[in-house]
Structure 1
């Protein structure tokens, strides 16, 4: 047997986001076994003990690979880093008798309709919603719930397939587009519920995410992030941590979190919950049994609080208690934010002008280019993720200063397009 190992399911897409996960494992004395469809081209091999290429959408294949790895290594934990891997990771942890998200809870949180159904008797926490497959069902949902509304696949990830609709004409277009889009032939994430959509009331108010952990039934909220999205596809374009919400609103958000986590049955995992706050109403958008993306947990939380977030995720995976603010860690001392640079048109990406000037803006920590030279960039609804060209991360002593520095850095970045 080797040193104790933790099985990682895939990694975040970009090295700036995934390197902190590998380094956290190294700091805690664990070796990493990477179960992945395809390892990153820039993967530093010295931080990974073994890479197993497996179809991680296929739970049976995952269990076979995991069993083989367990014969060769001392696996003490299993961690998913993305939505798509929550259920396979829970299945493997269950098979190996390791701590992890209970499999029924993992399945509920991976399907937006099942998640809302589990909370149906707490309707005050939710937008009104309906399951939709056919045009007749979509029209009936609109007649019952009204406009504006949001139509999206039940099992998507990363804002894939989100449409805001304000009329029957827009709904008909969105339904036709999504009925073709939400299919396994387009993306394997839709294999568990092809063509299955959810129509839900559009929620007014400010949008937020909540990062935290659940350990032995105890919900630990690390903090709340303020989020900005862009209509009509609700792409997440900016995050600032910690929130500027008042103490009363924060208390009510935390109460929502505790109730949702309890009802959904999450335990021994990190969570990322999204909600909207409209004066006295706090309502759920969704909850996931994994860390927050968009550099929130890799950079914003650590920059603002010094919270060892990824170390705590790994502690949870092996059944240990996370180190929390109650032990003297994590009190926010700074604000940190990220803004994405979104393509304004389609074309072949040719790089950026102004990166050095953006990095020279006070408080800017990183500028990461997220497309490769020569990539064919498409816009939603043709591509929901490839339109993100870069991201800027900055920190300062106030949310307003963070916003100003992100704006200043973003203005210096000019994408170039190949002929």
Structure 2
């Protein structure tokens, strides 16, 4: 093996991502290696972080060569494992403390409040196993309606809008039954960090209650390189009418330029204050158009995998470029508007059932025909024939995403038209439908 080849280890590397990585700028000087089987981080909701850290450490120690970088693109548990692994092997990453100031939702809100208080909602932490939790939320100054979510969540899972006491107790029942799936492994990570006393008291089994915020949702994709904060793209997150479920992510953003500029300014302020460095991140915001008010929703310590194809279609390369360059100590080499399309989107093909069994899903031949008829499209089914929808991982509380569909076009209008034509040809059938 040549001395100038850089060995990059990717936690949960699958074939889909390997192909993208090998097309990045400078990838010819890299060799990509998988760490931990993809199924252990993609296709499960049970995460034994201690065992995964032990497995990853053993794999890396057994490697005959230099470990030049360790990266990942997944949210929990991968994002929280990376600083621990990188510290063990002396590769570049943010500190665990700075990462937790983003990912521990209560700590993150506390830190945000120190520098951008007018851009965050009212919030409080509460224990879902406390029978007086609703009273304590009221004592903290939060009243109906409000939103609840775990201190550490994954995707939109276990997030609920609360309009009545009945809504709250329904949410509490779900939270008590399911929060341990993330809380227990997250606590394994918290044990590795030195936390302020007021944060240590709020462990992974706690939840957040926050004022309802809303509006036009978007995500600022950025990175920090040697202390310099760079925001390189804003992606819109557009929902189905009247519900919380996402319809599609669209890039570039259609937000007014002054709103985008203010979001970049807020991003710079908060990421500098946190001390996050040498890594990618993304921050989700709302713009309340009526009040012309910006709200910071949450900070994620990674690129969004959902956006990789969008940047490739519009800018010419996946934003995985950012992650790899930073991990190797290089200033990211991201092009701008050098792709084949003016606009791109990831669509979520959904059904709004309580539950059902998929009796039929589109065949491989049908998918291939659609992708041929709509050049540039990528269709990724999320459900198999015979599968009960409630067994699908990473779903929100209101619907099931049966397929992800990436497409590009020369305008936002054409993009929607093409998607509607493609979606009309996707044939699913269901048994045992619960409405």
The match for 2:74 is 82
Matched, 1:109 2:102: yes
The 3 A distance-change label for structure 1 pair 381 and 371 is closer
Partner of 1:341: 349
Instruction: Tell me how far 1:182 sits from its aligned partner.
Output: 0.4
Corresponding residue number in structure 2 for 1:413 = 426
Q: Is 2:325 the counterpart of 1:323?
A: no
Q: In 2 relative to 1, CA 135–278 (structure 1 residues): closer, same or farther, beyond 3 Å?
A: farther
Q: Structure 1 length normalisation: TM-score?
A: 0.84
**Which residue matches 1:160?**
157
Count matched residues: 400
Check 1:300–1:381 CA distance in 2 against 1; reply closer, same or farther (3 A cut).
closer
Shift in Å, 1:312: 2.9
In the TM superposition, what is the alpha-carbon distance from 1:334 to its structure 2 partner?
A: 0.9
- Residue 161 of structure 1: how far off its partner (Å): 0.9
Following superposition, the deviation at residue 204 of structure 1 comes to 2.3
| Residue 118 of structure 1 pairs with residue 126 of structure 2 | no
In 1, the alpha carbon distance for the partners of 2:54 and 2:310 equals 35
Q: Secondary structure at the match of 2:155?
A: coil
> 2:6 — aligned with what?
4
- Partners of 2:6 and 2:94 lie apart in 1 by 20
CA separation of 1:361/1:4 partners in 2, compared to 1, >3 Å: closer, same or farther?
closer
In structure 1, the residue matched to 2:195 is none
- Match of residue 273 from structure 1: 283
Match of 2:148 in 1: 151
Residue aligned with 2:362, SS: strand
Alignment CA distance shift 1:149-1:99 (3 Å): same
Matches within 5 A, 1:6-405: 6-11=8-13, 16=16, 19-21=19-21, 23-24=23-24, 27-39=27-39, 56=49, 58=51, 61=54, 64-65=57-58, 68-69=61-62, 72-84=64-76, 85-121=78-114, 122-133=116-127, 134-142=130-138, 144-184=141-181, 188=185, 193-229=203-239, 234-279=244-289, 280-294=292-306, 296-297=307-308, 299-325=309-335, 329-330=336-337, 334-345=342-353, 346-349=355-358, 350-352=360-362, 355=367, 358-359=370-371, 362=374, 365-378=377-390, 384=396, 387-405=400-418
Question: 8 Å contact 1:301–1:309 — kept in the other structure?
Answer: yes
SS of structure 1 residue aligned to 2:259: helix
- Structure 1 unaligned blocks of 5 or more: 43-53
Give the C-alpha shift of residue 4 in structure 1: 2.7
Q: CA deviation at 1:402?
A: 1.5
Q: Which stretch of the first structure deviates more once superposed, 244-253 or 211-220? A: 211-220
Q: List 4+ stretches of structure 1 deviating above 6 A.
A: 379-382
How far apart, in 2, do the equivalents of 1:177 and 1:153 lie?
11
Residues 148, 159 of structure 2: 8 Å contact kept: yes
Preserved contact between residue 357 and residue 412 of structure 1 (Cα < 8 Å)? no
Q: Distance in 2 between matches of 1:370 and 1:381?
A: 9
Given the two structures, how large is their TM-score scaled by the length of structure 2? 0.81
Q: Distance in 2 between matches of 1:315 and 1:281?
A: 35
Residue 200 of structure 2 corresponds to which residue in structure 1? Answer: none
How far apart, CA to CA, are the structure 1 residues paired with 2:212 and 2:41? 40
